[in-house]
Amino acid sequence: MAFTVNPIKFGTDGWRGVIAADFTFERVAMLAPLAAKVLADNYSNVASVREAYPSGNRTVIVGYDRRFMAEDFAKVAAEAITEAGFDVLLSKSYAPTPAFSWAAKSRNALGAVVMTASHNPAAYLGLKVKSAYGGSVSPEVTKQIEAVLDKPLSASKAPGKIEYFDPWESYCQELRSKVDIAGINSAISAEKVKVFADVMHGAAATGLERLLGCPIEEINSDRDPLFGGSAPEPLPKNLPDILSTIKAEAKKESDTVRVGLVFDGDSDRIAAVDGAGNFLSSQILIPILIEHLVERKRFKGEIVKTVSGSDLIPLLAKSYNRSVYETPIGYKYIAERMLEAEVTIGGEESGGIGYGTHIPERDALLSALYVLEAVVQSGESLEQIYSRLCDKVNFKAEYDRIDLPLANMDVRAKLLERLQNNAPTEVAGKKVRDCLDVDGYKFRLDENTWLLIRFSGTEPVLRLYCQASSMSEVQRVLEWAKEWANS
């Protein structure tokens, strides 16, 4: 039976492919040392790396999440990298991707190679490349890797060595140093706050308990390579367990504030659930975090958002006299800005949030700690905080996003051509006031409505994002977009 093997191509954060079809041991063994070589070309002169390895020794971190055979692919990658002459620090266990990003920086390595497909469905595995700074490599670096895919490295006359390390210890220590762990722990112990965490069978499992040092209610904590039959992406359709659990809890008479936290497959994306069992995307969490970091933590710097971010973000930033910097979608663009300027927080609609006082990387467990700290120190629930912030800047809007599967990449190409050559001038009966094409096509309409049409960087999927004055209007615009795409 014939089948198509897709070329290795880096998307918004790494290369991903279907296991055994696209993502194979042979391809990983070819790609990993090339990535190590490009990391050396770009980061061997970083001051911390040069100081740590004055004799020219070069070390790469290799890690993995809980996907099917991820540890086996990591071992293959590690062995291939050492054969090319690099030393490898190979993880002893699964861990969040940001833990490996932190390891790259804290251990002065050239960078990290991580086996993960993040939020993609169970059939996928992937390879993320992280820089010596502890964040995603730039688009220029991934282009360099793609440019040498047809030039596999030969075995070195001086192969490197593999050493093993615990990725959790230093990472947890760093995160604990950034928040009032004792205050959060005290609130949980006194039953003022009850914490639920849906780790979606992924790499965040055990993470909050390690950090807080007290038990919480962790959901879907077992390793399941099929992720319960859905993708490990923090979207309402994938979260029946935590939503139903908190809704059942909400029926009990109690003064306890309930906080639900949701982590994607490799724990770099976060979402939340409020005390009534309502899903809260990062469009809600980012404003809550902005207030906490600016008013209570006294963080300095600008606010970074992607083109799909809520209009509440710039309104709130203006109220705090903070500038806003807007990027294309993909955390690597936010990471680039964090290396250039002082940043309070940088976040994207899909749940990736990072901080200027940490590595230039999205980190769901650190975000979870800040969310809990905000609840404890404000004395309010998540829904109360968000409502108060909306009132503060007179903001009223709803948001939703849908992912529309496409038949194949040819359909994707035809839709892209339509947008480039015949973009709509009217959307759902509303005139298009302007169109931003930094990443996809963002149509700003009358009555503070916008629609963003954008293609996935890794799959034949059309992503449709909308913000409008009411949820009924959001759904009406999204239905229009679906009909436009299907026509």
Query: DSSP letters along 390-459, please?
Result: HHHTT---EEEEEEEE-S-HHHHHHHHHHHHHS--SEETTEEEEEEE-SSSEEEEESTT-EEEEEE-SSS
Same domain, 205 and 312: yes
- Report the pLDDT averaged over residues 378-404: 95
pLDDT at 47: 73
Q: For residue 304, list its beta bridge partners.
A: 325, 346
Q: Which domain holds residue 408?
A: 398-486
- Report the pLDDT averaged over residues 333-357: 95
Domain boundary among 137, 167, 197: 167
Same domain, 284 and 250: yes
Task: Identify the CATH number of the domain in which residue 479 sits.
Answer: 3.30.310.50
> Residue 345, by phi and psi: left (phi above 0), alpha (psi -120 to 50) or beta?
beta
pLDDT at 46: 80
Same domain, 134 and 158: yes
Q: State both tokens at 325.
A: 């910097």
Structure-model confidence comparison of residues 385 and 54, the more confident one: 385
Residue 57 has pLDDT above 80, yes or no: no
pLDDT at 407: 83
pLDDT at 409: 79
Total number of domains in the chain: 3
Same domain, 410 and 368: no
Task: Identify the CATH number of the domain in which residue 157 sits.
Answer: 3.40.120.10
Same domain, 222 and 352: yes
Does residue 217 belong to any structural domain of this protein?
A: yes
Same domain, 221 and 365: yes
Same domain, 341 and 479: no
Does residue 461 belong to any structural domain of this protein?
A: yes
Q: State both tokens at 265.
A: 């497959």
> Residue 46, by phi and psi: left (phi above 0), alpha (psi -120 to 50) or beta?
beta
- Report the pLDDT averaged over residues 353-357: 97
> Percent of the chain beyond pLDDT 70?
97
pLDDT at 112: 97
pLDDT tens-digit readout, 221-239: 999 999 999 999 999 999 9
Q: What pTM was computed for the model? A: 0.94
Does residue 9 belong to any structural domain of this protein?
A: no
Q: How far apart are CA 112 and CA 359, in angstroms?
A: 13
pLDDT tens-digit readout, 284-320: 999 999 999 999 999 999 999 999 999 999 999 999 9
Q: How far from the centroid of its chain's Cα atoms is residue 374's Cα?
A: 21
pLDDT tens-digit readout, 104-161: 999 999 999 999 999 999 999 999 999 999 999 988 999 999 999 999 898 888 899 9
pLDDT at 45: 84
Residue 49 has pLDDT above 90, yes or no: no
Q: How far apart are CA 145 and CA 35, in angstroms?
A: 6
**Average pLDDT, whole number, for the chain?**
94
Does residue 8 belong to any structural domain of this protein?
A: no
Same domain, 303 and 374: yes
Same domain, 212 and 260: yes
Closest CA to 402 of 471, 347, 315, 352: 471
pLDDT tens-digit readout, 463-477: 999 999 999 999 999
Indicate the pairing of strand 461-468 with strand 398-405.
antiparallel
Same domain, 259 and 369: yes
pLDDT at 198: 98
Same domain, 326 and 411: no
Does residue 3 belong to any structural domain of this protein?
A: no
Q: How far apart are CA 103 and CA 120, in angstroms?
A: 24
Is 178 in contact with 358 (CB distance < 8 Å)?
Answer: yes
Report which DSSP code applies to 54.
T
pLDDT at 458: 62
- Report the pLDDT averaged over residues 265-283: 97
pLDDT at 155: 87
pLDDT at 84: 96
Same domain, 121 and 141: yes
pLDDT at 1: 52
* Angle (CA) 333 143 62, round 5°: 80
pLDDT at 425: 92
pLDDT at 460: 83
Closest CA to 373 of 113, 177, 129: 177
